[in-house]
Amino acid sequence: MLKTKNVIDATDATFQQDVIARSHETTVVVDFWAPWCGPCRMLGPVLERLANEPDSGFVLAKINVDHNPRVAQQFMVRSIPAVKAFRGGEMVGGFVGAQPETQVRAFLRQVAPSASNGVRRSGQQLLAQGKWAEAEAAFRDALKDDDDASTRLGLAQALLRQGKGCAAETQLRDFPHGPEFGEAERLLPLAHYLCAAERNQLNGSDELTTLYRQAAGQISRRDYAAGLYNLLAIVRQDKQYRQGEPKFVMLALFTLMGEQDATVQAYRQQLASALF
C-alpha cells in the first residue's frame, strides 16, 4: 500500500482520532483487511486508487484485523474484506466482500456525495482554458459516476467546441428539467445544425444553402466570426430560410461563446438590426 494523505493506516489506538474525529471533516471509508485474504488484495487497490483521485471526497483508513482485533470486534466484522463508511462521527454505510469497481463507485456516491465533484470541476477548468478534448474526457469520466445535468451540459459544450454536433445533440436531447435546462435548450439548435452538416444533410446548390453549409464548416473549426458573418448574411437575405434556423443557430452560438465575448456583442447587435 502506498500511503498518501488520502490513504492511511489506522489502528485500535488511533481509530478514534483517525476515523471518528476526522469524519467530522470528511467522509472516512474504513477497509478491514488482512494480508492472507485474497479478496482483500482485489478490493484494496481499487479503494486506494479511488481515494487518490483528485478531490475524491473521502479518506481511506486501512485496518489490519490481525493486528487490530478490538475495532473489528466493536463493529462486528465477521468476514473480510469489510468496508464501513463514517461521516459526522457515525457509521453511514458499508458492504462486505470484493465488489466490482462500478459498485464501489456507486457506494461512494452514497456515502461521499462529492466523490465525482473533483472530476467535474476539472472539466469546467479545462473548458475555461480552451482545452476542449481534455474537458470532454473529464466530463465523460464524471458521468461514469453520476449522470448529473451540469456534467452533461459541460460535456455538450466541450463537444460543440470541437464541432462534434451529433455527440453533443445526444447529450442535449431529453435534457432533465433543472437549472441547466434553459441553456441546454438554447444550445440544441447549434448541435442539430452541426450534426446535419456531419451527416451531409445540408443539401442544395443555391446561394443561401451554400453559405449555410460553409458556415457549419467554419463553426466546426472554431472560426466563429466567419461562421456568424455567413449566417447573418442569410438572415439579411431571407429571415425565413429553413424556418429561421440561421437565427437560432446564431443565438445558440452566442450562448456557447458567452455574452462577454466581443464578437458575440457585435453580432448580437447586427442580428437585432437585421431582424427588426
Q: SS3 sequence, the chain?
A: CCCECCEEECCCCCHHHHHHHHHHCCEEEEEEECCCCHHHHHHHHHHHHHHCCCCCCEEEEEEECCCCHHHHHHCCCCCCCEEEEEECCEEEEEEECCCCHHHHHHHHHHHCHHHHHHHHHHHHHHHHCCCHHHHHHHHHHHHHHCCCHHHHHHHHHHHHHCCCHHHHHHHHCCCCCCCCHHHHHHHHHHHHHHHHHHCCCCCCCCHHHHHHHHHHHHHHCCCHHHHHHHHHHHHHHCCCHHHHHHHHHHHHHHHHHCCCCHHHHHHHHHHHHHHC
Helix axes 101-111, 132-145, angle to 10 degrees: 80
Active site residue 166: no
Give the whole-angstrom CA distance, residue 130 versus residue 219. 15
Active site residue 40: yes
Q: What is the CA radius of gyration of the chain?
A: 26
Q: Taking the mean position of all CA atoms in its chain, how far away is CA 224? A: 25
**Residue with C-alpha cell 447587435?**
269
Largest CA distance in the chain: 82
Annotated catalytic residue within 8, 40, 63, 65: 40
Annotated catalytic residue within 7, 10, 29, 37: 37
Given a contact cutoff of 8 angstroms between Cβ atoms, the answer to whether 211 and 233 are in contact is yes
| Catalytic sites, residue numbers | 37, 40
